[in-house]
Structure 1
Amino acid sequence: MPTRTGTRLTARDLAADTPATRDRYIDLLRVASLAVVVLGHWLMAAVTDDGRVGNLLAVVPGLQVLTWVLQVMPVFFFVGGFAHALSYRSRPAYAEFVRGRVRRLLRPTVLFAVVWFLLALPLQSGGGGLTGTALRLVTQPLWFIGIYLAMVAFTPPLLRLHRRWGWGAFAALAGGAAAVDVLRFALGVPYVEFLNFALVWLAVHQLGFLRADGRLRVPWALAGAGLAGAAALVAFGPYPLSMVGMPGEKVSNMAPPTLALLCHGVWLVGAVELLRGPGTRLVARARVWRAVVAANGVAMTAFLWHLTAMLAVYGALLALDVRLPDPASPSWWAWLPVRVALAAAVTALLVVVFRAVERPAPRPPRPAGPAAPAVLGVTLSLLGVLGLSMTGYGGLLTGRTATLIALPVTAPQALALTLAGWLLVELRR
């Protein structure tokens, strides 16, 4: 019998209580995709002695081809679609579904945003060098939280379309993404490209619905079509080679997403499905499964704080007058494992400090309540975290703004939206 700790279960308890019907490979993909994203950010950071943070892929453009394997955020959104389909079918009340999926996501996000806001206020006077860079960079990964919140909010209507049209629903989203790129690149229609933040990522999310229904039966065809499509678009279209954003580029495959990125996502989904057999056998091992369960319990906290940890390591090195080698030089490559290990150690320490909020204590069952507060809560928090990802915490005292859906927003305003949305999501009645 597993040992209980208060009202919460330990990772060992959860691993032991896992039902035989659970798809453990999906949990492995969730952890692995976030781990690759975190590692990618650490590897790409090219910090110089004056505190500037560049991109290794810009220093060595030949490495950009690696993003075709290492840009795995589509896998996380695919896994999200699978989980959301099963979750909504088990509790089809909209308000309860939204609260159940969003609550665990928003709690560590709100804590991260508030802690960094309190840190940023006294750091404003030293806004140059690495400090200024940190104030701008640490909130950038919050765009991912905003997109994921939108996926949760749209799951019920998109599931209805999926039940009716199946692959047709995915094709409609993919066709919409293609039409947006035609309007953008061929006809020069302004602002239309921002629609692809929804169309591209929701199309990948829709593949998760198909996976939940067992309808991804020929993954080799999916992988082949996606890879061929992405290669053709990059070779003959206006799309860059890199599947992550690059400094100074006129066109990015990521911000906003393009049809090439959607093809890349399709290729990755096909690839991970091809690895399903060996992956399932791997995660069936007791020790591996316990590690996956433990990692899933802190994954969002680690994701939120990993850039903070990396910048703290570089800040400490600069404070100790350690000369940083030139990016991509032989000494830079030699010391890379040490810097990554230090960033991982600091991230682990931050996880120990902040992990308690990621798994809320269980609540007794109550009526689901009206959907309106949940919808409003998700909307406000979505706008808030997207605003924070764009503004950063630099320029707090000068009222620095960023444009969010045609409206200027400051970091305090974005934080207020995030807090208001979180409170509405937590509201039970």
Structure 2
Amino acid sequence: MRAKMERFRQGGPMSTPQRDPYPDALRAGALLVVVLGHWIATLPRLRDGRLAQTEHLLAAWDGAAVLTWLVQVVPLFVFVSAAVSAEGVARRVGVAGPARWWAARALALARPTVTYLAVLVLLAVAALASGGRLLGLFDQSLTVHLWFLLMLLTVQALLPWSLRMDERWGLGAVAGLVVVAAALDVLRADVSSARDLAALGSRVAQRPPGIAWLNMLVVWLLPQQLGIAWKRGRFRGPPAGVALLALGAAWLALAMASGYPVAMVGVALAGNNMLPPTLALVGVMWLQAGAVLAFEPLARRMLAGRAPPRAIAVLGALGMPLYLWHKLAELPAAWLGERMGLPIDAGLPGEPGFWLGRVCWIALCLLMVAPVLAAVVRFELRRERDVPGTTRGRSIAIGGACLYAGLAVALVGGVWPGAVVALPAVMIASWQLRARGGRAGQESDDAN
């Protein structure tokens, strides 16, 4: 992010002339959908003009479950990221080695996460000192999105392996992962007859994950493997896109008929297709990959010219800061909504003014996130660059372990005590990866 924003500030090109704007546009668009989806899903509830609690949209409106098929775009992000990275990864891994290459990627996530956690800790201390009310209402909401960083770190660590899988088996590697994911769901459901298989989704939803926790890895490797295959031309064009769209539609129809939950999110109130991911989520991946191919000619015509790629490059440079900090914007948005008496709590879907309340809430979040992003970008531009260090597997292992542990603690523990405990762990990770893992700043930005 630092390297990209410095080029933009200095008036230089944000990307090389050879860079394909279409995957960058898809990735930037996916992050924007995630951000807006999170804001839309948060329902502030007021009592006597003061925020009393926050509720999830799925708890108030069953129909929102189908909408998650559109806003659950993490498979699309992984798919496109793999395609963007595929060309340069083999070369960089060959020069630096897989451990040092991954350390660069991990450091690019760890450093901004340190800043985010530090701000959360300061807010927690201020809330304890002043008896702050709002922070407690948003406590878990401010760290729940860190799961994405854990997933991204893991699949990117296996990206060189995915490239070798594609070289050896091509689309057979994708098929193999699908078979493994299906087998894990079948084992979870304890299928012993054709009747059990017909009710696979219901049985999966009713049983503890057990061995199916392995799908936290297998299912997220699927869009990565598919993205590599797309980049290498193993399938392409609108006809292939239409075929994938048909596959996705049929896949989801069968999944719903067998009893899988409709919502593609990880909240218990809507069932759970995310913790761990299920075969139903794979259907969304087919739909998204199909849409990428089917609408590619139209999208490329819209991206022709100089202005769209430049705007996309700016969004790409701001993507990770926006993802990290967008949930924090809900805190001042709720405070401002209270003070201004805006209808941020407008009852239930179908009631008069509900969607007006949603518009007010989104507008407040946008208003609050802008100065936060400006401050974060300014801070990142002033930070010292990372410099090459000695490659030591022990330091990379320590840094990686601390980073995983810190993110997991923050994810589970919320701001208090999660972020407070996580901050020193992620700081250690950042120090270890920076001092021993090699350069991460510009190289990682360019690789992405």
TM-score (norm: length of structure 2) = 0.83
Per the alignment, residue 228 of structure 2 pairs with: 209
Q: Deviations for 1:125-158, whole angstroms, at most 9, x for unmatched residues?
A: 7788643121221000000011001122111222
> 2:379 & 2:407 partners in 1: Cα distance?
18
- Which of these residues, 346, 350, 355, is aligned with residue 325 of structure 1? 346
For residue 376 of structure 1, report the CA deviation from its aligned partner: 4.1
Structure 1 residues 234 and 358: alpha-carbon distance in aligned structure 2, compared to 1, 3 A threshold: farther
How has the CA–CA distance of structure 1 residues 216 and 345 changed in structure 2, closer, same or farther, with 3 Å as cutoff?
farther
1:39 maps to what in 2? 36
Query: What is the aligned-residue identity percentage?
Result: 31
Q: Is the 8 A contact 2:117 2:422 kept in 1?
A: no
C-alpha contact 2:140 2:413 (8 A) present in aligned 1: yes
Distance 1:309 1:213 in 2: 39
> In structure 2, the residue corresponding to 1:242 is in which secondary structure?
coil
User: Could you say which residue in structure 2 is the equivalent of 1:200?
Assistant: 219
Which of 39, 49, 67 lines up with 2:46 in the alignment?
49
Corresponding residue of 2:435:
427
Q: Supply the distance in 2 between the matched residues of 1:185 and 1:171 (Cα, whole angstroms).
A: 21
Which whole-Å CA distance do the structure 2 matches of 1:317 and 1:18 have between them? 39
Asked if 1:311 is matched to 2:312, the reply is: no
Q: State the partner residue of 1:416.
A: 424
Q: Is the 8 A contact 1:78 1:207 kept in 2?
A: yes
Q: Please give the secondary structure, in 2, of the residue aligned with 1:9.
A: helix
Quick one: which of 247, 264, 276 aligns to 1:243?
264
Match of 2:444 in 1: none
Alignment of 1:242-391 (within 5 A): 242-249=263-270, 251-319=271-339, 324-328=345-349, 329-356=351-378, 369-391=391-413
Q: Distance in 1 between matches of 2:61 and 2:156?
A: 38
- Are 1:229 and 2:251 counterparts? yes
Q: In the alignment, is the contact (CA less than 8 A) between 2:92 and 2:101 conserved in 1?
A: yes
8 Å Cα contact 1:104/1:358 also seen in 2: no
Find out whether 1:133 has 2:137 as its counterpart.
yes
Q: Alpha-carbon deviation of 1:6?
A: 12
**Helix, strand or coil at the partner of 2:415:** coil
Task: Name the residue aligned to 1:74.
Answer: 75
Distance 1:143 1:214 in 2: 31
Question: 1:98-113 residue pairs with structure 2 within 5 A?
Answer: 98-113=102-117
The answer (yes or no) to whether the contact 2:14–2:313 under 8 Å persists in 1 is no
> What is the CA distance between 1:413 and its match in structure 2?
3.8
The alpha-carbon deviation at position 56 of structure 1 amounts to: 1.8
Paired residues of 1:47 and 1:314 also in contact (CA < 8 A): yes
2:65 is equivalent to residue 64 of structure 1: yes
Asked if 2 retains the 8 angstrom alpha-carbon contact of 1:24 and 1:284, the reply is no
**8 Å Cα contact 2:333/2:361 also seen in 1:** yes
How far apart are the structure 1 equivalents of 2:310 and 2:325?
23
- How far apart in 2 are the matches of 1:227 and 1:204? 17
**Match of 2:197?**
none
Residues 416 and 352 from structure 1, CA distance in 2 versus in 1: closer, same or farther, beyond 3 angstroms? same
Task: Label 1:20 to 1:190 Cα distance change in 2 as closer, same or farther (>3 A).
Answer: closer
1:156 matched to 2:160: yes
- Once the 2 structures are TM-superposed, how far is the Cα of residue 243 of structure 1 from its aligned partner? 1.2
Distance 1:301 1:367, change over 3 A: closer
Match of 1:10 in 2: 8
Aligned residue type for 1:212: K
Cα distance in 1 between the residues matched to 2:211 and 2:130 = 39
Query: Structure 1 residues 193-202 or 58-67, which shifts more?
Result: 58-67
Give the gaps of 5 or more residues in structure 2: 192-206, 439-448
Give 1:340 deviation, angstroms. 1.1
Note closer, same or farther for the CA distance 1:134–1:224 as it changes in structure 2 (3 Å cut).
same
User: Residues of 2 paired with 1:167 and 1:18: CA distance?
Assistant: 30
Letter matched to residue 36 of structure 1: V
Residue 273 of structure 1 deviates from its aligned partner by 2.0
Task: Measure how far apart 1:43 and its partner are.
Answer: 1.3
Partner of 2:86: 85
Q: Is the 8 A contact 1:297 1:358 kept in 2?
A: no
Q: Which amino acid aligns with 1:417?
A: A
Q: 1:247 to 1:416 in 2, by over 3 A?
A: same
Range with greater deviation from structure 2 (145-154 or 413-422): 413-422
**Structure 2 counterpart of 1:171, from 170, 175, 191:** 175
CA contact (8 A) 1:153 1:378 kept: no
Provide the C-alpha distance between the structure 2 equivalents of 1:224 and 1:45, rounded to a whole number of angstroms.
32
Q: Which runs of 5+ in 1 are unaligned?
A: 397-409
How many residue pairs match? The answer is 407
CA distance in 1, matches of 2:234, 2:393: 31
Displacement of 1:38 in angstroms is 0.6
- Please state whether the residue corresponding to 1:330 is helix, strand or coil: coil
Residue 24 of structure 2 aligns with an amino acid whose one-letter code is D
SS in 2 for 1:47: strand
Give the Cα separation in 2 of the matches to 1:96 and 1:413: 27
Inter-CA distance 256–356: structure 2 relative to 1 (3 Å threshold): farther
Aligned partner of residue 19 in structure 2, secondary structure: coil
1:392 shift after superposition: 0.6
Matched with 2:445 is: none
Task: Flag the 1:141–1:7 CA change in 2: closer, same or farther, 3 A.
Answer: closer
**Equivalent residue in structure 1 for 2:120, among 116, 121, 139:** 116
1:402 counterpart residue number = none
Specify the code of the residue in structure 2 equivalent to 1:10: F
* CA shift for structure 1 position 298: 1.1
Shift of 1:211: 1.9
